[in-house]
Amino acid sequence: MVSKLKLAVFDMDGTLINGRLIEALSKKFGLYTKVKEIQNDSSIFGYIKTQKIASLLKGIEEKEIMLAIESVPLMEGSQQVISALKKAGFKTGIVTDSYSVAANNVAEKLGLDFFSSNRLRVSNGIITGDIDMPLGWDKINCYCKISVCKRYHLERQAMRYNIDIQDTVAIGDTQSDLCMVERAGTGIAFMPKDKQISRCNNIINRPNLADMLGFIDLNFSS
Ligand SMILES: [Zn+2]
């Protein structure tokens, strides 16, 4: 029996962490209502929303992102599930439409292998309002049109580690995770926040990430 590598990809906000970075940040700077208005505007594509929200953050010190992400606790069970997956030979990472400073912080805390995220531009420690978005839907013709196409980044990481897409697990809590959750060998909706992601076959309705181990075969071999 030769064990082979597998891949587990996590959404960050509301999945690996018990809260949302942009909520913590926007509340602190009185931008919460403006951010919500943009998020709820169904007339624009997701990546445009990301650009508009980034422009609201112009002038804020970059270190505030670090303070905000530190104020959001890890999801219960996250350390347990990551350590079980790593022991079973999984590569683990975050694919998020949040910001690289925050994703890097969470990835380091949990000892993950990678993260894909947006990158806020910063000049002399101050957020400029511009943002670099990895996109990806343009390359694979994905319907999501968000700043970080999670399906594209799931496929890219699987290719990078030479892992079959059937041997991937993806988990997330909102519509923005749907393209990835649908594509993964095992797709899981975690505490689903909207109708779209609730279509998923595998659903966890309890705020404990360790429950995802119930959907995964940890004793695989090839
Ligand atoms: Zn997509």
Q: What percent of the chain has pLDDT over 90?
A: 93
**What secondary structure does DSSP assign to 93-108, as a single string?**
EEEEEEEHHHHHHHHH
pLDDT digits (tens, 9 = 90+) for 84-115: 999 999 999 999 999 999 999 999 999 999 99
Find out whether 14 and 185 touch, Cβ atoms under 8 Å.
Answer: no
CA-to-CA separations, 192 to 101, 103, 114, 145, 146, in angstroms, rounded: 25, 21, 24, 20, 18
Ligand 1 center from residue 201 Cα (angstroms): 19
pLDDT digits (tens, 9 = 90+) for 134-151: 999 999 999 999 999 999
pLDDT digits (tens, 9 = 90+) for 6-28: 999 999 999 999 999 999 999 99
Q: How far apart are CA 82 and CA 92, in angstroms?
A: 7
Give me the residues near ligand 1 (ion), CB cutoff below 5 Å. Answer: 137, 142, 144, 149, 151, 179
Ligand 1 center from residue 149 Cα (angstroms): 4
CATH number of 6-21+74-117+130-215: 3.40.50.1000
Q: How far apart are CA 196 and CA 175, in angstroms?
A: 6
pTM metric for this prediction: 0.95
Ligand 1 center from residue 120 Cα (angstroms): 21
Cα 26 versus chain centre, distance: 19
Question: β-strand 186-190 against 202-204: which pairing, if any?
Answer: parallel
Joined together, the tokens standing for residue 50 give 């990301």
Ligand 1 center from residue 121 Cα (angstroms): 23
Examine the pLDDT at 221 and tell me if it is beyond 70: no
> Which is nearest to 73 in space by CA: 36, 120, 105?
105
What are the structural domain ranges in the chain?
A: 6-21+74-117+130-215
Instruction: Supply the pLDDT for residue 3.
Output: 56
Ligand 1 center from residue 2 Cα (angstroms): 33
Q: How confident is the model at residue 220 (pLDDT cuts 50, 70, 90)?
A: low
Average the pLDDT over 203-217 and give the result.
95
